[in-house]
Amino acid sequence: MTANIEAAISALSHLDIDTKPASLKARSRDFFWYSPVLKDRLDHVMADFAVSPKSEAEVIEVLKVCYAHDVPVTARGTGTGNYGQAMPLAGGCVLHLNQMNAIKDISPGRLVVEPGALLKDIDAATKAHSGQELRMFSSTWATATIGGFIAGGSGGVGSVHWGALRDVGNIIRLRVVTMEEEPQIIEITGEDLHRVSHAYGTNGIITELEIPLAAAYDWEELFVTFDDFEEALRYSYDLASCDGLLLKLVTLFEPPIAHDYFQRVKPHVTPEKTVLALMVAPQSMPGFETHLAHWSGEVIYRKGHTDWPRDPGLIFEYGWNHTTLRALKVDPSITYLQVGIGTEDPVGRALRLREEFSPEVLLHIEVTRQNGKVGFGSLSLVKFTTEERLDEIVRIHEAMGAPNFNPHRYTLEEGGRQSVDARQLEFKRQADPKGLLNPGKMIAWDDPDWTYDRMYAWPGMTKAAE
């Protein structure tokens, strides 16, 4: 099966197609370079062409032509994923959905939208329409698309109230085009949503999404500091357990993260301070203050009330994966891990992790709802030395009962639960019989007997030029 790139390009030449090396290179990359491991392996990856469909009909046309000519197709929102999800490992076509960004319908609690709409544009539209907003968004709100978030993300700002994207109820319906001789349009609901959401575009191209909305508020944005790390952990757990307080973000940074990596916060904290970044609904501020009075924490910044010489900007751009970004900018040797801490004694578990690893690994805790309980996850910052040490750190975490969703891997399985998802695989057989959709990202497809004893290296990847 050899891709006939020229034939595909010529058949699609009436569409918005891009073959210019500079822009094509940009459209072939994402934030994979967060990981020194992925940087090493994926840096050379490049598509042969990109196409920006303007409608579902054009998506169908692209998939049909590429199917006929055996050309791999990798969907792209804005390429803010950070495991190389959007990178075309075998070259071929990048299907760039940036022009399919219509907001189609807004009703109470619901939105129907095209995949290329930016999260921030959605929030602006739903807020103006009826005081609504997305339940949750990735901290790349300003730049990421809803299609990329659903296909490549896992949760984010809002997960402290609504849980993870995969939790039942957080996606209502996805409309998907398959990659067959005659592409089909499938409306995906219910259990089947797991086959397509968070599938990195390996199981069809999402052309429309229906998702729930929540009431929009002018969220208060705060930094709170604690002298004592353990108290800060207990506070963040307790705060998120206050059912009467409406919160959108509860993030905790082990010292000296805030001091060392947040340039605009640095003048206001010492290296010893544990810092929390919070988003609180305005109607919950009085209750928030009542609750805080029982703790020794101090509000050092409240947007609109505190006058810092340099404004810190959007508070959520300190949390989730933005923490890593900020650290990387100051110290390029920093990378990160995604650690599950769970809901059983998360404070104790976090303390034990700190004892084991600090300062080589620093906890950056996101408080979220996990199956009805308050729990912790950590997007821990890691001072990178070698791949071997990184793997060892992952192993020690797992031995301590803290599962890792390894961000230094580009496959679905290795970034997830390290096991074949039979439903995803079965669906792929039907939706992508030639295996042309984002190839190399689903181990189950390529090598169902893979044992996960080392990093998977997809044999089909284009080789780096010597």
Ligand X SMILES: Cc1cc2nc3c(=O)[nH]c(=O)nc-3n(C[C@H](O)[C@H](O)[C@H](O)COP(=O)(O)OP(=O)(O)OC[C@H]3O[C@@H](n4cnc5c(N)ncnc54)[C@H](O)[C@@H]3O)c2cc1C
Q: Provide the binding-site residues for a copy of itself, judged by CB under 8 A.
A: 108-110, 130-132, 135, 161-164, 167-170, 172-173, 189-191, 212-218, 238, 240-246, 281-284, 286-291, 293, 369-374
Amino acid symbol at 300 = I
Neighbouring residues of 307: CB distance < 8 A, sequence distance ≥ 6: none
Q: With binding defined as CB under 6 A, does residue 326 bind ligand X?
A: no
Neighbouring residues of 103: CB distance < 8 A, sequence distance ≥ 6: 111, 112, 113, 114, 117, 121, 122, 125, 126
Of the candidate spans 74-82, 185-193, 268-276, 350-358, the one that interacts with ligand X by CB under 6 A turns out to be 74-82
* Minimum distance from residue 229 beta carbon to ligand X (Å): 23
Which of ligand X, a copy of itself, none is residue 154 near (CB under 5 to 8 Å by kind)? ligand X
Residue 458: other Cβ atoms inside 10 A? 17
**Shorter beta-carbon distance to ligand X: residue 163 or 201:** 201
Helix (H, G, I), strand (E, B) or coil at 171: coil
**Shorter beta-carbon distance to a copy of itself: residue 285 or 351:** 285
Choosing from 273, 322, 408, 409, the residue that interacts with ligand X (CB under 6 A) is 322
Q: Can you tell me the distance from the alpha carbon of 158 to that of 134, in angstroms, rounded to the nearest whole number?
A: 8
Task: Judge contact between 437 and 73, C-beta under 8 A.
Answer: yes
Of the candidate spans 133-141, 214-222, 299-307, 396-404, the one that interacts with ligand X by CB under 6 A turns out to be 133-141
Helix (H, G, I), strand (E, B) or coil at 18: strand
Q: With binding defined as CB under 6 A, does residue 145 bind ligand X?
A: yes
Q: With binding defined as CB under 6 A, does residue 144 bind ligand X?
A: yes
* Minimum distance from residue 454 beta carbon to a copy of itself (Å): 35
Task: Judge contact between 394 and 417, C-beta under 8 A.
Answer: no
Beta strands at 247-253 and 364-370: parallel, antiparallel or unpaired? antiparallel
Which of ligand X, a copy of itself, none is residue 66 near (CB under 5 to 8 Å by kind)? none
Q: With binding defined as CB under 6 A, does residue 79 bind ligand X?
A: yes
Q: With binding defined as CB under 6 A, does residue 320 bind ligand X?
A: yes
**Shorter beta-carbon distance to a copy of itself: residue 287 or 416:** 287
* Minimum distance from residue 22 beta carbon to ligand X (Å): 19
Helix (H, G, I), strand (E, B) or coil at 375: strand
Choosing from 35, 101, 126, 154, the residue that interacts with ligand X (CB under 6 A) is 154
- Angle at the Cα of 416 from the Cα atoms of 31 and 321, rounded to 5 degrees: 35
Tokens encoding 392: 């060892």
**Shorter beta-carbon distance to a copy of itself: residue 11 or 292:** 292
Residue 241: other Cβ atoms inside 10 A? 11
**Shorter beta-carbon distance to a copy of itself: residue 110 or 383:** 110
* Minimum distance from residue 336 beta carbon to a copy of itself (Å): 25
Which of ligand X, a copy of itself, none is residue 214 near (CB under 5 to 8 Å by kind)? a copy of itself
* Minimum distance from residue 204 beta carbon to a copy of itself (Å): 19
Q: Can you tell me the distance from the alpha carbon of 120 to that of 131, in angstroms, rounded to the nearest whole number?
A: 14
* Minimum distance from residue 240 beta carbon to a copy of itself (Å): 6
Question: Measured in whole angstroms, how far is the alpha carbon of residue 120 from the centre of its chain?
Answer: 15
**Shorter beta-carbon distance to a copy of itself: residue 99 or 130:** 130
Q: With binding defined as CB under 6 A, does residue 139 bind ligand X?
A: yes
Q: With binding defined as CB under 6 A, does residue 97 bind ligand X?
A: yes
Which residues inside 191-210 make contact with ligand X, applying CB under 6 A? 200-201, 205-206
Which residues inside 19-58 make contact with ligand X, applying CB under 6 A? 30-31
Tokens encoding 267: 């003048």
The burial class, CB within 10 Å (0-12 / 13-18 / 19+), for 372 is exposed
Amino acid symbol at 57 = A
Q: List helix spans (H) across 245-363.
A: 257-261, 285-292, 321-330, 346-357
Task: Judge contact between 337 and 394, C-beta under 8 A.
Answer: yes
Question: Measured in whole angstroms, how far is the alpha carbon of residue 5 from the centre of its chain?
Answer: 31
Where do contacts with ligand X occur on this chain (CB under 6 A)?
30-31, 74-82, 85-86, 97, 115, 138-140, 144-145, 147-149, 151-156, 200-201, 205-206, 320-322, 325, 438
